[in-house]
Amino acid sequence: MAQGIWIVAEQREGELRKISYELVSEGRRLADQLGQPLTALLLGSNIKEKASDLGKYGADKVIVADDERLATYTTDAYAAVIAELAQAHEPAIILLGASVQGKDLSGRLAAKLGAGVAQDCVEFSIDNGSLVAKRPIYAGKAYATVTYKDSVPQIATARPNVLELNEPDESRSAEVVDASFSLDDSQLKTKVVELQQEAGGKIDLTEAERIVSGGRGMKGPENYNILEELADLIEATVGASRSAVDAGWRPHSDQVGQTGKVVSPNLYIACGISGAIQHLAGMSTSKVIVAINKDPEAPIFQKADYGVVGDLFDVVPALTEQIRKLT
Amino acid sequence: MNCIVCLKQVPDTETQIKIAQDGMSVVTDNIKWVMNPYDEYAVEEALRLREKFGGEVTVVGVGPKRVTESIRTALAMGADKGILVDDPSAAGSDSLGIARILAAVIKDLDYQLILCGKQGVDDDYGVVGSVLAELLGIPQISVVVKLEVSEDGATIKAHREVEGGTLVIESPLPALVTAQKGLNEPRYASLPGIMKAKKKPLDVKTVADLGLDAAQVGEGGAKIKVLKLSPPAEREAGKMVDGETPEEKAANLAKLLREEAKVI
Ligand SMILES: Cc1cc2nc3c(=O)[nH]c(=O)nc-3n(C[C@H](O)[C@H](O)[C@H](O)COP(=O)(O)OP(=O)(O)OC[C@H]3O[C@@H](n4cnc5c(N)ncnc54)[C@H](O)[C@@H]3O)c2cc1C
Ligand SMILES: Nc1ncnc2c1ncn2[C@@H]1O[C@H](COP(=O)(O)O)[C@@H](O)[C@H]1O
């Protein structure tokens, strides 16, 4: 019978990403409920030394697949290796990150294993030995609670920034084993040609703890410097509404909302954003929402924990100034 | 170069979502059904490739009769033909079931590229594309914001959005890509386009026509089972920050964020 929980750790250029620790933390809680072991899969090249970190967060065992061809994520290579390992070891549950990588991988893996997949979940529990997952639908306008039927394994991806992170326990260590897999070059059809990193190495919106977003009220691309200044001070990432993106003021990758990024930061500051339903759908799971808008009737105020009615060109620089005084 | 676009019909993004009495479904009265916004980018990209390389664009949808309208919209934008799989036994399919149906339709067609949307803005799964690619045994590149096809039409180079950057990936054809906003600016259907679309072929098929066993699709074949739907947690009413001047308001806000919300 299928046994145990697996999480698929995520690394980029040899560094573990935060979602990996979130997955181990959640996996630990679920493994304890089930009374089964937690295994982390780590794929990469010269990556073995990172395995101990996963142990500190709660993995009992780390299976390391170390191969040059796994250095950078490709669907072909990762899906082939993980499917082969899953067939050999038969885990009951596989959790991945609902990152770009995890969302790309989950369906492919599910198809290879003939299993069900629940994408982008925000809450997990175990009921009667089965995984139960809660996931936003309609970009968070509703939630669906789902479970699995005759699915071995039960596959799910977890939204970044939502699951609680364990305190690392320095005294814990995981058993580290080398994976045995047969990766044939003929399976590798796609090739990564290049990774273009965004300038400044800023944190992606989906992973950011704090976001300062600007909408049409910003009046033009040149004015985003006042948001950048605030963002730099509080270590935030700058986002935008669709109007600002479609006007060409900000890149598509900055768009927050139903047809942009769905974000869950601790702090979301919306500046000159009216709060259209599609925008709200993308950010209403933020822990604290601040709205700065000169129109007291703007719908964004209905979602905001703190609302400031005023001209953003006065309020934002003043806020930056005041926060600087506090620090 | 023949392209296939998988088209899903979804409620317009303006829709307020209400959960039905049964707690298992969404109230569909008065919903305006539209082509999934990401699929519009897929249709547009296919049309642009046809303009450059020739060939045909076929649109495939799975769903009830109303989906015909969205397929007609794609035909009015310029696609050549449509196929709708309309079968009660397909209702309640999960991503795997839908992909099985799409694979059964597509496997006998002559194609080089399949385009899907990044995800349906209804269930937000974003799974059908990769399952379909696996079932057909072809490579996939998801969340694509830029697509280049080599002059000989044999390979593609796609830019996919990842956290904090862009990955450039090369793949031989046939392949499947999923479209992300930014890929292109979809055209509107013109009036002559709408007239022409009425005469374009639109085949309607059943699950049995495709040689699929009804037990493999629909609720029976689904590996994912919905237990219930629930509304989002109500956010508690927030407070308006006081102050006579912008400076005062800013000072009060900074204090609240530091001392009350503890987020800075
Ligand atoms: C299919 C579809 C998908 C969509 N997806 C998204 C999405 O993912 N994300 C998204 O954001 N939108 C999306 N939209 C668009 C959405 O409907 C709105 O049009 C958009 O969010 C509005 O952007 P905005 O709030 O910046 O602009 P507006 O609605 O024009 O609001 C500007 C606000 O700025 C305020 N303002 C102006 N000047 C100042 C000032 N000096 N100081 C303070 N406040 C000021 C105004 O009072 C106003 O409230 C989508 C639409 C469709 C049809
Ligand atoms: N019922 C369907 N009919 C045709 N294509 C679909 C259907 N469901 C999903 N797709 C395709 O798969 C993409 C992703 O959908 P999903 O996995 O449901 O989020 C959509 O944008 C479509 O291109």
> φ and ψ at A182, to 5 degrees?
-120, 100
Token pair for residue A294? 């000169």
Residues A147-200 have pLDDT tens digits of: 999 999 999 999 998 999 999 999 999 999 999 999 999 999 999 999 888 766
Of chain B, the percentage scoring pLDDT greater than 90 comes to 96
Ligand nearest to the CA of B115: 2
With bands split at pLDDT 50, 70 and 90, how would you rate the model's confidence at A17? very high
Question: Rounded distance, CA B6 to CA B262, Å?
Answer: 46
Q: Do residues B216 and B100 touch, judged by C-beta distance below 8 A?
A: yes
Ligand 2 pocket test, pick from B6, B183, B205, B226 with the greatest ligand atom count within 8 Å of Cβ, gives B6
Contact B232 A143 (CB under 8 A): yes
Question: Rounded distance, CA B9 to CA B226, Å?
Answer: 20
Residues A48-60 have pLDDT tens digits of: 999 999 999 999 9
CA of A1 to the centre of ligand 2 (A): 33
Question: Rounded distance, CA B98 to CA B92, Å?
Answer: 9
pTM over 0.90: yes
Question: What pLDDT sits at residue A27?
Answer: 98
In total, the C-beta contacts within 8 angstroms joining chain A to chain B are 275
Question: What pLDDT sits at residue A14?
Answer: 94
Question: Rounded distance, CA B20 to CA A296, Å?
Answer: 33
Q: Do residues A101 and A10 touch, judged by C-beta distance below 8 A?
A: yes
**Is B14 at the interface with chain A, CB within 8 A?**
yes
Residue ranges, chain B, pLDDT below 70: none
CA-based nearest distance B221→chain A, Å: 9
Residues A69-106 have pLDDT tens digits of: 999 999 999 999 999 999 999 999 999 999 999 999 99
Q: For chain A, which domains are there? A: 5-187 (3.40.50.620), 205-326 (3.40.50.1220)
Q: Per-residue DSSP letters for B116-138?
A: EES--TTT----HHHHHHHHHT-
- Bond before B64 cis per omega within 30 degrees: no
Q: Which residues lie across from B113 on neighbouring strands?
A: B3, B175
CA of A223 to the centre of ligand 1 (A): 16
Closest by alpha carbon to B254, among A322, A126, A90?
A: A322
Helices (H), A221-311: 225-234, 242-246, 277-283
For chain A, the average pLDDT equals: 96
Residues of chain A found within 8 Å of residue B162, distances taken between Cβ atoms: 100-101, 195
Beta strand B239-240 with A306-309 is parallel
Q: Where are the beta strands (DSSP E) in A14-67?
A: 15-16, 38-44, 61-66
Contact A191 B170 (CB under 8 A): yes
CA of B178 to the centre of ligand 2 (A): 10
Three-state secondary structure call for residue B193: helix
- CB interface of B with A, residues 180-199, below 8 Å: 180-182
User: What does DSSP assign to residue B26?
Assistant: B
Question: Rounded distance, CA A147 to CA B215, Å?
Answer: 19
Residues of chain A found within 8 Å of residue B160, distances taken between Cβ atoms: 100
Question: Rounded distance, CA B226 to CA A120, Å?
Answer: 15
| Whether pLDDT at A42 is above 70 | yes
Q: Which atom of ligand 1 is nearest to the CA of A240?
A: 11
Residues of chain A found within 8 Å of residue B169, distances taken between Cβ atoms: 74, 190-193
CA of A270 to the centre of ligand 1 (A): 10
- Protein residue closest via CA to atom 2 of ligand 1: B13
- Protein residue closest via CA to atom 23 of ligand 2: B116
CATH of the domain spanning B3-221: 3.40.50.620
Question: What pLDDT sits at residue B201?
Answer: 98
Kindly list the domain boundaries of chain B, sorted by start residue. 3-221, 237-264
Residues of chain A found within 8 Å of residue B125, distances taken between Cβ atoms: 119
Token pair for residue A173? 């260590």
A213 lines ligand 1 (CB under 6 A): no
**Is B261 at the interface with chain A, CB within 8 A?**
yes
Compute the average pLDDT of residues A37-44: 98
Question: What pLDDT sits at residue A88?
Answer: 97
- Among chain B residues, CA nearest to A248: B182
Contact A107 B134 (CB under 8 A): yes
Question: What pLDDT sits at residue A200?
Answer: 65
Interface confidence, given as ipTM, is 0.95
CA of B10 to the centre of ligand 2 (A): 10
Token pair for residue A293? 């808008």
Question: What pLDDT sits at residue A1?
Answer: 77
- Is B198 exposed, middle or buried (CB count within 10 Å of its CB: 0-12, 13-18, 19+)? exposed
